[in-house]
Structure 1
Amino acid sequence: MMKKVLFFVACLLACNSLMAEDLMVNSPNKKMRFTLHTGKTLKFSVRAFGRAAIDPTKIDLQVDGKYLGAGAKIANSSIKEHQLSETPVVPVKFETVDNHYNELTVKFKSGIQLIARAYDAGVAYRFVLDKKGSVIINNEVFDFTLPGNPKVFFPTEESLISHYERYYEVFNMKNILAGTFCSLPMLNIVAGDLHVGLTEADLFDYPHLFLESNGKGQLVSKFPHVVKATVAEKGELGDRNEIITEEADYIAKTAGKRSFPWRVFPIAEEAGDLIEGNLVYKLSTPSKIKDTSWIKPGKVAWDWWNANNLYGVDFKAGLNNETYKYYIDFAANNNIPYVILDEGWTKSTTNIKEYAKDINVEELVKYGNERGVGLILWALWGPLNEDIAGTLDLYEKWGVKGIKIDFMQRADQDMVNFYEEVAVLAAERHLLVDYHGAFKPTGMEKTYPNIVNYEGVKGLENNKWSDEVTPTHNVTLPFTRMLAGPLDYTPGAMDNAHAQNYMIRFDRPMAIGTRAHQAAMFVVYEAPLQMMADSPSNYEREQKFTSFIAQMPTTWDETKVISGEVGEHIIIARRHGNDWFLAGMTGAEGMETAVALDFLKDGQYEAEILTDGPNAEMAAIDYLLKTKSVSKADELNIKMVNGGGFAVIFHKK
């Protein structure tokens, strides 16, 4: 009898092994391998640089109440190599993008497909559905499993209602308490040196992915459900904060024939390679805007952070035409193409079709046009959502160049659709879009390149009310939040102090770190629409420094990370046209280094070099600015203090 039982068990195991199948795809350089494990459950794993990067991770899609991946049988599969050359409308990192990958496509008899891509810089996968009509997506399973007990840079969230401006807490994976959850992107360091990021791309008509610890060293998927009803929060913030009172029991209702978002894993041995990988751009849908000639990125003179604090003028500064004309004059004098009219220009925060009594937008537009400066208008998302087309028609009639939309605070399917609707309608009216109070970018800015920035970052505005924006945080962001795309950090603070001298001041804010640390942000942080956050009066007092940062471009033809460690330092070189720009930032500890200039092309360059001054360890505002002639054969000896930095502009002779 025992022999029969053993024989029966052996047959079962043999049948299961026949049903289960592993399908693999390697990157072009063979250093990345994505493996799909099929059978009773659907899982994937990743090896990178000869070792485990992601352990078997369960994935699935629940459609109309049924999980389609569990036990699904393979109909067919294929692997193809793709090599494309793309020219971005808005070159955030490169003027030409080499999109080279190997792609595995697996079709299951259940009507679902899985597509996986292996790049030299990481891997990605997505589900594809082929069903008639509309479907309900009840859930998407993603049980993120990493080898060992990796170090995790974890953007903890307290609620799914959030501005997604997070400080990256550092944990070991197995120490994250059950129920603790985060937004994306996140970063993990596996086996001491393997950097494994996670974000998402090409996300439309679908909620954002969050991850929640199960307390067992694993992170599981968490999604906002479809919102059915909300009420305004009671109190003075009721114009912008809402409470969800009713949700559906599903995460999306959508078309049955569609692709779902890419789950994106940038992977690198060197932290800086994460930045150069550019995976979100490569995985996103190309531009749907036919005529993009009107899309002009650039810098913005910003009013809100500095609370319109002008001084040395012969009028009362504030929310009035005199103040904004001064901002326009400042922008024109420094070749800054835009001025933003932030909160306060409207008759009320909910009446965004009329301007306040001391503001005349059409007069300011005319004044700006005469000086080559365009205006961008701030608006709350709720009032805009009541009449998107009508409001944008009015702004187009006034002649403004763009809109900054604020306080979205959600990442569910309907909110994602709001972002797309605004982008489409704004593009039809030749308006740029800056999403503030926003979730992270997911590549929609490639599809609609009039989207020129997103916030979704704990940036400089937090200095008005907290001490959390530290140099360590600042040099964590390039390797974490910036993996998703552009970030509206809003640099340029002129009142600089080390932590022991820092004070929280809402109306006259300052920043932690040196003046050179702030200057470096204009090269390090990717932001096609880049704010200059401080007061024109402060900038004009130090015109030498202002002229230096004002000439920094906001788009880049080439990007090369020289060195970097998450939370410790970054040194990066970028090219715009014939000129090169080099910058570095440090966290809690300073550093001295020699930077080889071999990234330069042949010939001589005049280098404008801005560094921490000799007294910057005590007085964070201290900096030096000098010029010298250099070539690619030279190197620069750089010293950065704690919370320090440097920036260099190389003009081709």
Structure 2
Amino acid sequence: MDATFILKAVAIIIFITMIQHKPVKALFAWVCCLFSVNAFPQAPIFLKSPGNNLTIEVNTKDSLSWRLIKGHETLISHAVAGLDIAHKPYIGFNEQVKSVDRVAKNEMIYPVVAVRQKAIRDAYNELRINFRSGNTIIFRAYDNGVAYRWVTHFKDSVNVENEIVDYVFPDNNRVLWGIEENKQFLSHFELLFKDSTVASFSKEQHCGLPLYVSSAAGTRMLLTEADLLDYSNLFFFGTNSNKITSGFPKVILKESLVRDRSTKIEENADYIARTTGSRSFPWRLVMVANEDKELLENNLVYQLASPNTLKSTDWIVPGKASWDWWNDNNIYGVDFRSGINNQTYKYYIDFAARFGLQYIILDEGWSKSTWDVIHPRDSINVPELVAYGKAKNVGVILWTLWQPMDKDMDNVLSIYAQWGVKGVKVDFMARADQYMVNFYERLSANAASHHLMVDLHGAYKPTGLNRRYPNIMSYEGVRGMENYKWSDDEATPPHEVTLPFTRMVLGAMDFTPGAMRNATKRDFHINFDAPMSQGTRAHQVAMYAVYESPWQMLADNPSNYLRDTACTGYIAAFPTTWDTTVALQGKIKEYVAVARKKGNQWFIGAMTNWSPRDLTLHLDFLDAGKKYKVKIFSDGINADKFAEDYRIAYAAWVKGQEVTVHMQPGGGWSAIVTEE
């Protein structure tokens, strides 16, 4: 006989016996509560990945909890999932299972903009646990990660007061923790990843995502979220133990403007989102890899995102852009006064056209003020520049602050479209609350209606919105090369070989590479107007293969590029989207090597930290029976003393060869491999 049936029978007997001595209402409530409690544990529910290498064990007694197991190794020993919705029973606690549904999928996704792959296999096993409360939790197990999300079915809108996303690791694991200092979650999310242990962080400290975790046995995990819509961003707090717990920005009720672009929060609501009551919530995602390099091929953020909503996409054109802000428009060797004027930007267009670059960017300063973004300053005529660029197959992208865009979005975008502009770079959002999440979506949808592409700067990390709106070409949310203009200890070669295994895994990354003034660690100095990079020239060039961004920048001065056309022509040959990505080598904070295919060519990039390094690359990814001609860009023999020293060489390769790559301190190596 079922144990629950026996329990209910006993409860009825007790109820009848006691009714003579207690008020009926109180006893009835007591019995109802007894009926709702799972007095006997519900059996764990298991979900395995398609290859059986990952296992999720879900327990529904008391709180909804789960474990993650890889083979015989426990990766997450106890994870708790719950939703606290105002005036509703706590979702995930004392839930009773109504039914369990399972599905297995093995399909192909074909991205409109192929950032990492032109075809992504989406193979997973899914578990849907439907509760008597009417709520559902969905788990998915892939061979390279797991994810879960809540689904609710309330009739009216609800206030979500909190969501519990807790993870307990079996050991005091190594973590690379992107510390965020602002307690109100106001940040540009340009994370520096501190190498430490999970227990070294207190409840007063929180991190932005992703969070990199290495288990005691060496399994790598990357924790993040996906399909973030109409909700608040997830952050993690420490507990001085092996446990991390979630935190979210609350809805802002009252705010004020600081200077022309910053937000001061004056009043918050007591909830993190007001949203429709019948919806799917963001995916909570744990990527899993045996070694760091596997993270370079992980597409789970994209796979878990909502599908493309745009009917017309042929106007979305990735490409490289000549960018003005990093080099401060310090053009030289010309017969006009350089600066923010049409002569300077025509020079950019001429440069872009010469090397086949698709775009130029007019960054901050082109408009009458940072808030008047529909009237160019007197020295700028945008329609004239657009026409000049169109004749040379070079498009124009305009920068704007997010606040004036937010206040007059359709009008601003309509004017830009009338001018013939190709896209917008929207900047200084520096928030992660629900309103900002919705701003990203409104901007992307409205820009698409005007056939405008979008670059999100001052932005939180990618969560897959570029799948839903493929006109999103890139995100910042990275401690990028701009930091060389004011710092000597932030964007360094060790940081630059950390990013491929952390921030870049989540999606396109507008690091803005291409420095032509390169310095050793000893020779580097800060220069805002004529900036330089740390590491070698070959290190910078390799970024065009290693770093992913459908809008990839050439950040330096066109005059500098024109002084070295051999290097510039080599950079210009790199695509910005890829058919295939193959991870070759990688160790976080130390080195990275990756091969990417476009058409009948392979583009390979390798980078190292401040340690000189030899890597052996196995050419197994090439096609058998074919011959390839190779152009190699490597550190010069004196690059350890003069970082701009490089060498271009040529070779012939076939499948199965091994190639030894040498990199100087802060160095790099790259190759363009063309099928004969």
TM range (shorter): over 0.9
Superposition map of 1:389-428 within 5 A: 389-428=410-449
Deviation per CA, 1:109-149, whole angstroms, max 9, x where unpaired? 12211101000111011111111021111100011211201
- SS of the aligned residue for 2:673 comes to strand
CA distance, structure 2, for counterparts of residue 147 and residue 550 of structure 1: 48
For residue 225 of structure 2, what is the amino acid of its counterpart? E
CA distance, structure 2, for counterparts of residue 25 and residue 274 of structure 1: 22
For residue 171 of structure 2, what is the amino acid of its counterpart? G
- SS of the aligned residue for 1:18 comes to coil
Structure 1 length-normalised TM: 0.96
For residue 93 of structure 1, what is the amino acid of its counterpart? R
Superposition map of 1:636-651 within 5 A: 636-651=659-674
- SS of the aligned residue for 1:57 comes to strand
For residue 428 of structure 1, what is the amino acid of its counterpart? S
Find 2:645's aligned residue among 610, 615, 622.
622
For residue 653 of structure 2, what is the amino acid of its counterpart? V
- Asked if 1 retains the 8 angstrom alpha-carbon contact of 2:38 and 2:94, the reply is no
Aligned twin of 2:407:
386
Find 1:122's aligned residue among 118, 135, 145.
145
1:20 deviation in Å?
Answer: 2.9
- SS of the aligned residue for 1:183 comes to strand
Larger Rg: 2
- Asked if 2 retains the 8 angstrom alpha-carbon contact of 1:176 and 1:217, the reply is no
- Asked if 1 retains the 8 angstrom alpha-carbon contact of 2:601 and 2:673, the reply is yes
CA distance, structure 2, for counterparts of residue 57 and residue 402 of structure 1: 42
1:177 deviation in Å?
Answer: 2.8
CA distance, structure 2, for counterparts of residue 360 and residue 620 of structure 1: 39
Aligned twin of 1:493:
515
- SS of the aligned residue for 2:473 comes to strand
- Asked if 2 retains the 8 angstrom alpha-carbon contact of 1:200 and 1:484, the reply is no
For residue 177 of structure 1, what is the amino acid of its counterpart? S
CA distance, structure 1, for counterparts of residue 207 and residue 199 of structure 2: 15
CA distance, structure 1, for counterparts of residue 283 and residue 505 of structure 2: 14
Aligned twin of 1:3:
none
Find 1:20's aligned residue among 38, 42, 54.
42
- Asked if 2 retains the 8 angstrom alpha-carbon contact of 1:304 and 1:342, the reply is yes
The answer to whether residue 212 in structure 2 is matched with residue 187 in structure 1 is yes
- SS of the aligned residue for 1:147 comes to coil
Deviation per CA, 1:94-122, whole angstroms, max 9, x where unpaired? 11111000001001112211101000111
- SS of the aligned residue for 2:260 comes to coil
Deviation per CA, 1:324-358, whole angstroms, max 9, x where unpaired? 00000000000000000000000011100100110
Which shows bigger deviation, 636-645 or 573-582?
636-645
Aligned twin of 1:374:
395
Aligned twin of 2:24:
none
- Asked if 2 retains the 8 angstrom alpha-carbon contact of 1:197 and 1:267, the reply is yes
CA distance, structure 2, for counterparts of residue 318 and residue 176 of structure 1: 47
Superposition map of 1:455-534 within 5 A: 455-467=476-488, 468-534=490-556
Find 2:83's aligned residue among 61, 66, 83.
61
Structure 2 length-normalised TM: 0.93
The answer to whether residue 129 in structure 2 is matched with residue 106 in structure 1 is yes
Deviation per CA, 1:249-268, whole angstroms, max 9, x where unpaired? 00001111100000111101
CA distance, structure 1, for counterparts of residue 287 and residue 38 of structure 2: 33
Find 1:588's aligned residue among 603, 610, 630.
610
1:16 deviation in Å?
Answer: 5.2
Aligned twin of 2:61:
39
1:38 deviation in Å?
Answer: 1.0
CA distance, structure 2, for counterparts of residue 63 and residue 110 of structure 1: 13
Query: What CA RMSD, in Å, does the superposition of the two structures yield over aligned residues?
Result: 1.4
Superposition map of 1:523-602 within 5 A: 523-602=545-624
- Asked if 1 retains the 8 angstrom alpha-carbon contact of 2:481 and 2:513, the reply is yes
- Asked if 2 retains the 8 angstrom alpha-carbon contact of 1:19 and 1:73, the reply is no
- Asked if 1 retains the 8 angstrom alpha-carbon contact of 2:202 and 2:237, the reply is no
CA distance, structure 2, for counterparts of residue 259 and residue 510 of structure 1: 46
- Asked if 1 retains the 8 angstrom alpha-carbon contact of 2:170 and 2:242, the reply is no
Deviation per CA, 1:506-556, whole angstroms, max 9, x where unpaired? 111111111111111111111111111100001110100000011100001
Deviation per CA, 1:393-435, whole angstroms, max 9, x where unpaired? 0000000000000000101001000000000000011000000
Aligned twin of 2:232:
207
- SS of the aligned residue for 1:523 comes to helix
Aligned twin of 2:27:
none
1:596 deviation in Å?
Answer: 1.8
- Asked if 2 retains the 8 angstrom alpha-carbon contact of 1:20 and 1:40, the reply is no
- Asked if 1 retains the 8 angstrom alpha-carbon contact of 2:139 and 2:148, the reply is yes
1:41 deviation in Å?
Answer: 1.0
Aligned twin of 2:188:
163
1:630 deviation in Å?
Answer: 1.6
CA distance, structure 2, for counterparts of residue 193 and residue 590 of structure 1: 25
- SS of the aligned residue for 1:328 comes to helix
- Asked if 2 retains the 8 angstrom alpha-carbon contact of 1:102 and 1:119, the reply is yes
Aligned twin of 1:4:
none
CA distance, structure 1, for counterparts of residue 649 and residue 78 of structure 2: 54
Find 1:447's aligned residue among 468, 480, 501.
468
Deviation per CA, 1:157-214, whole angstroms, max 9, x where unpaired? 0111000001101111111133110110110001141101101111100010011112
For residue 469 of structure 1, what is the amino acid of its counterpart? A
CA distance, structure 2, for counterparts of residue 455 and residue 621 of structure 1: 27
1:50 deviation in Å?
Answer: 2.7
For residue 29 of structure 1, what is the amino acid of its counterpart? G
Unmatched tracts of structure 2, length 5 or more: 1-6, 12-33
- Asked if 2 retains the 8 angstrom alpha-carbon contact of 1:125 and 1:264, the reply is yes
Aligned twin of 1:433:
454
Identity of aligned residues (%): 45
Deviation per CA, 1:613-649, whole angstroms, max 9, x where unpaired? 1111111111111112221132222101121110100
CA distance, structure 2, for counterparts of residue 431 and residue 241 of structure 1: 26
Unmatched tracts of structure 1, length 5 or more: 1-6
Deviation per CA, 1:216-260, whole angstroms, max 9, x where unpaired? 332111100011111112xxxx10011011111000011111000
Aligned length: 638
Aligned twin of 1:283:
304
Aligned twin of 2:14:
none
- SS of the aligned residue for 2:277 comes to strand
